[in-house]
Every structure is written in structure tokens, then in C-alpha cells.
Amino acid sequence: MADLKMADAATKPATATGASPVLAVQDLQAWYGESHILHGINFNVNAGEVVTLLGRNGAGKTTTLKSVMGIIGKRTGSVRFDGQEIIRASSDKIARMGVAFCPEERGIFASLDVRENLLLPPIVRPGGLSLEQIFDLFPNLKERLDSQGTKLSGGEQQMLAIARILRTGARFLMLDEPTEGLAPVIIQQIGHTIARLKKEGFTILLVEQNFRFAATVADRYYIVEHGKVIDGFANADLQANMDKLHTYLGV
Amino acid sequence: MQALYAQLLVGLINGSFYALLSLGLAVIFGMLNIINFAHGAVYMMGAFVAYFLLNVAGIGYWPALIIAPIVVGIFGMILERTMLQWLAGLDHLYGLLLTFGLALIIQGVFQNYFGSSGLPYSIPDELKGGMNLGFMYLPIYRGWVVIFSLIVCIGTWYLIERTRLGAYLRAATENPTLVRAFGINVPRMITLTYGLGVGLAALAGVLSAPINQVRPLMGENVIIVVFAVVVIGGMGSIMGSIITGFALGVIEGLTKYFYPEASNTVVFVLMVLVLLVKPTGLTGRAA
């Protein structure tokens, strides 16, 4: 019961703003085969926000992103994107509505070169970044266009994975641990990129273990534990919530 | 020497069929992860559709070259939609059993109506006759089969390795879930891929009709060799299956000249040798 109350409290500040959220997730449950992973996820993301899901390993953050994307086979509850219910939609339909996903393992294709990887996701609506703008953000990629996708360094692969979803015109990006395993310099570069995307009006749902990194880009946080959202607060209240946060994350 | 060249030509012709068939198998295996044992049956269906077109509707060889692969391709896509798609994610064995069963049923139905003997299908007028090349006599139809097969094989390779559609295909072979999450209708792509693979087999069937006649069991003998080709070339490699197809045809032809007793087994001896040295095949990627 206590959990439920906190989850309600977490969604309140978002709904109180009046404008309807870009993404509204209510009582989302999801299963991998027989195992029940998400037990009722509730959160909202408003237009232009960067929202971060925090939580320990195995809490259900990645599963939440995959459920929104429609990749998880069995899911119940409600996921509304731009006011439309997408809980039963297939992932290609969800992508066509303007949701883009950058997976934790990056998903760079070995049998495609960098150019093919970059051009792979189809344009789903007008307004995506041009190749020029993308090379402006990630100059490294321009020099490696003819390399095999998986020959890039980890950082370059991450940039490629983000770059290719910026072309599509999707305005809602889900990034799963974009800093995992990367050098501090690259993490900084990715932080700048996210800040710039936010300034250009992208809405971003981020999953991060690296809470220090998240603090530099996020507007709001939700804490995920055992497949539920147990708490949420704005970036302004971060310091006040520091003790709680340390308990949640075990750091 | 005349006999050597003649065998070489026979080898190239057989190689053309091997290449077209193993190419289709490789494309299907890459995308559906299914070893399509019905491939010999659809090859036979291609020849029969050409036969029906000619004898029932009076439609000749040239239109049949286009119509038969489309008709058989559609038949294949119906099989994929109604049966094969449910096998996604299951062990290879299920796909093998289902397609093998389908092959037996299809061949059985045709055998029931047409027996086992061959039905004649004549060479189109434009390709009758031959050319004296000086060192050998080349029947024009046979030269046409080799060149046309080569063009189709290279065209398919280009489609898969060099175009945007091919990039979708290669990416979906690696990670279909992610490709779908980019907004591409992967299930429809899988259906079309199966249609393409099956269509290539049917095309080989039409090409072979004037040379080998039209028989319900015509696919049965050739498909065993084709599986050896695929194993040697490496499952899932496009160029590997094309080159191996032609090369093995030629090797088989040469063996017929130098040591005829071994001509039926040379492909399988090679298969054993390749598997001993390189279990993934000559150009195969590890699964």
C-alpha cells in the first residue's frame, strides 16, 4: 500500500502542470516468458522534458523502456503516447508514431557499414536532423562512414546509436544507459548532446545507473524498484532527497 | 578435348541451378532461420507452372520466366503466413520437419496426377540451335541458362549487399526486434523474403524444363546436392552460395570426364572435407 501511495505522489507533479503529457504510463505490467518483471509502473513525461528512471540493476528500468517500445511480448496496463493508447500496438507501429529507442547494447549491426547503420531507421515524420546536423554533433562519425559498424570504438558506437534515431523525425527518444562503459570524456560529450537535444525541443526518457551523469541533464527522476515506481522528484529537490536516494540506489 | 568441354558445359549448367537454388536457401535461412526442405518441390513447381502455362493457356517460355516465379512465390508466401511463421524461435528441427513434410505432400500430389515420367517442354524458338565455337559446339539454350543465371545471381547479391532494402534485410537477419522497433514491418519482410527465395527456385525450375523435362521428382535429386553446396559454401552467405554453386557444378562436370565413377559422390566427399576443416563452411559466419 505504501508503495502505491508513493507512486501516486510521484505522478502528481506532472499531471498538475495542466498540459497532457507526451507519455503517460499507468499500472504497466510486463512479463518475460513466465517471469513477471513489471508490477505496476506509473509515470509521465511532459513535452520537452528529460526524465530519468533510476534504480538498481534488475529493477525493471530497461524492461519499462522496452514495454513502452512494444518489444516485450506480454504487457498490460496503459501506455498513452500523444494521447493514444499503445499498450497493444506492435513496435513498428509505435516507432511510426514518433517513438525512438536506443538500446543498452547499442544494437549496431555488424553486417552494415556506418553509413548503412546511420541510414537504417526510416524517416517516420518530417523534422528530423539532417546528416549535416548529425555530423556537426558527432564529427567522428563522418570520418568513419565506410567502416564496418562494429569496428567503431564503444563511444563511437554509442554516438552512432543515438545519431541514427535523430534522423527519423521522432521527437520522443528513449536512451538506455547511454554512458555505460564509456570514458569520462565521451560521457561528457554525450551529456552535451543530450542537453542540446533538449534545447531543440526533444523529449527524452533516460535510463541511467550513473546518477551523477543523470543529475547534469535531467528535469525529473523516478525511482524504480522491484518492477514499480516507488518515488519521484524534480531536479530542484535533488539535494533534499539525497539521503533517500542513497538508500534506494545503495550507493 | 571435345568431351572435356562438353562436360565443363554440363557442369556450368548444373552449377547454374545449384547457385540459384542455394542462393534462395541462403536468403531464407538468413531471415527465417529455417532450412527449407521444400526447396526442391518449389523448383519442380516452377517447371510445372511453365508447363501448364504453355499447354493450358498457350503462354510461352518468355512470359513463363516471369509468371512462374511470381505464382510459386505467392504460393510460398501463403505457406509462410499460414505455417512457417509459427515456427519462429523454435528449434531448427521443427522447420526441417514441416518443410520436409510439405515437400513430400507437394511431390506426392504431382506424382499422383503426372506419374514419374517426364513431360516434354521445348526450347523457345529464339534459343534453338547452336554455335560452333571452334573448339566445341555450344547449344544456344545452354549458354543462355548459364548467362541468365549468373545475371540473376549477381542481381540478387547486389540487391542484398548494396541497396537500402538489402540493408534492412541484413539488419533484420542480425536483430529483427530492433529493426522492427525502428518502424520496419519485419514480419512482412520475412514473408517477402521467403517469396523471393522460393521464386528463385521456381525460376531455376523454368530454366531447367527444356533441358531436363518436367517431372514431379525433378527436385528430389538436385536438392540433395544443393544442400551439400550450401553446407560447403556456408549457410547464410550470399556470395558464398553463388560461387560454391557454380564451382561445384564445374567440379562435378570435370569429375565426369576424368573419373566418371566418382561424379555422383565428389560433391559429398568435398562436403566431408570442408566440414572437417571448417565446420561453418568456406564463407560461413559462425551462427
CA distances from A141 to A48, B28, B208 (A): 27, 33, 49
What residue segments make up the domains of chain B, in order of their start? 2-220
Planar angle of CA B236, B241, B245, nearest 5 degrees: 155
Which of A116, A145, A148, A171 should one mutate to test binding to chain B, selecting the residue with the greatest count of B CBs within 10 A? Answer: A116
- List, for chain A, all residue ranges whose pLDDT scores fall below the cut of 70: 1-19, 251
Domains in chain A with CATH codes: 47-72+89-249 (3.40.50.300)
* B168: closest chain A residue by CA: A120
CA distance A195 to A216: 9
Cell of B132: 560452333
Residues of A in contact with B179 (CB under 8 A): 120
pLDDT digits (tens, 9 = 90+) for A69-88: 999 989 999 999 999 999 99
Smallest CA–CA distance from A96 into chain B, residue: B183
* pLDDT on residue A251: 66
Instruction: Sort out which chain A residues have CB atoms less than 8 A from B175's CB and list them.
Output: 107, 109
Nearest to B183 among A110, A112, A121 (CB): A121
Q: Which residues of B touch A (CB under 8 A)?
A: 164, 167-168, 170-171, 173-175, 177-186
Q: Is residue B16 within 8 Å of residue B145, measured between CB atoms?
A: yes
pTM to 2 decimal places: 0.89
CA dist., res. A147 & res. A86, Å (int) = 37
Nearest CA in chain A to B178: A107
Chain B environment of A95 (Cβ under 8 Å): 180-183
Closest residue in A to B177 (Cα–Cα): A71
Backbone angles phi, psi at B183, to 5 degrees: 105, 15
Helices (H), A51-181: 61-69, 91-96, 114-119, 131-137, 139-143, 154-166
Backbone dihedral angles phi then psi of residue B23, each to the nearest 5 degrees? -60, -45
pLDDT tens per residue across all 287 residues of chain B: 788 999 999 999 999 999 999 999 999 998 998 999 999 999 999 999 999 999 999 999 999 999 999 999 999 999 999 999 999 888 889 999 999 999 999 999 999 999 988 999 999 999 999 988 888 889 999 999 999 999 999 999 999 999 999 999 999 999 999 999 999 999 999 999 999 999 999 999 999 999 999 999 999 989 999 999 988 987 778 898 999 999 999 999 999 999 999 988 999 999 999 999 988 888 765 44
Closest CA to B113 of B64, B48, B54: B48
Q: Tell me which residue in B170, B177, B185 faces A112 most closely, judged by beta carbons.
A: B170
Q: Decide if A69 and B174 are in contact by the 8 Å CB cutoff.
A: no
- From residue B87, give the alpha-carbon distance in Å to each of B34, B40, B103: 9, 20, 17
Cβ contact, residue pair A70, B186, below 8 Å: no
* Cβ atoms of A42 and A53 closer than 8 Å: no
Q: Do A168 and B183 touch (CB under 8 A)?
A: yes
CB of A167 within 8 A of CB of A134? yes
pLDDT of B136 reads: 85
Task: Provide the 8-state DSSP code for A112.
Answer: S
Indicate yes or no: CB of B183 within 8 angstroms of CB of A124. Answer: yes
Q: Which of B164, B167, B180 sits opposite A92 (nearest CB)?
A: B180
Read out DSSP for chain B? -HHHHHHHHHHHHHHHHHHHHHHHHHHHHHHH----TTHHHHHHHHHHHHHHHHHHS---HHHHHHHHHHHHHHHHHHHHHHTGGGGTTS-HHHHHHHHHHHHHHHHHHHHHHH-SSPBP-PPPGGG-SEEE-SSSEEEHHHHHHHHHHHHHHHHHHHHHHHSHHHHHHHHHHH-HHHHHHTT--HHHHHHHHHHHHHHHHHHHHHHHHHHH-B-TTHHHHHHHHHHHHHHHH-TT-HHHHHHHHHHHHHHHHHHHHH-GGGTTTHHHHHHHHHHHH-TT-SSPPP-
Which residues of A touch chain B, with CB atoms under 8 Å apart?
69-71, 90-92, 94-96, 100-101, 103, 107, 109-112, 116, 119-122, 124, 165, 168
Q: Cβ separation of B181 and A120 shorter than 8 Å?
A: no
Neighboring chain B residues of A110 at a CB cutoff of 8 Å: 174
CA–chain centroid gap for B86, Å, is 24
Q: Which pLDDT belongs to residue B284?
A: 64
Task: Report CB contact under 8 Å: B185, A92.
Answer: yes
Nearest chain A residue (CA) to B171: A109
**Closest-CA distance of chain B to residue A141, Å:** 19
**Neighboring chain A residues of B181 at a CB cutoff of 8 Å:** 69-71, 91-92, 94-95, 101
Contact B284, B243 (CB under 8 A): no
Question: Is the Cβ pair A111, B174 closer than 8 Å?
Answer: yes
pLDDT, residue B285, reads 58
What local confidence, expressed as pLDDT, does residue A11 receive? 44
For residue A65, what is its C-alpha cell?
A: 523502456
Of A69, A103, A109, the CB nearest to B170: A109
Question: Which three three-digit cell numbers place residue A78?
Answer: 496503459
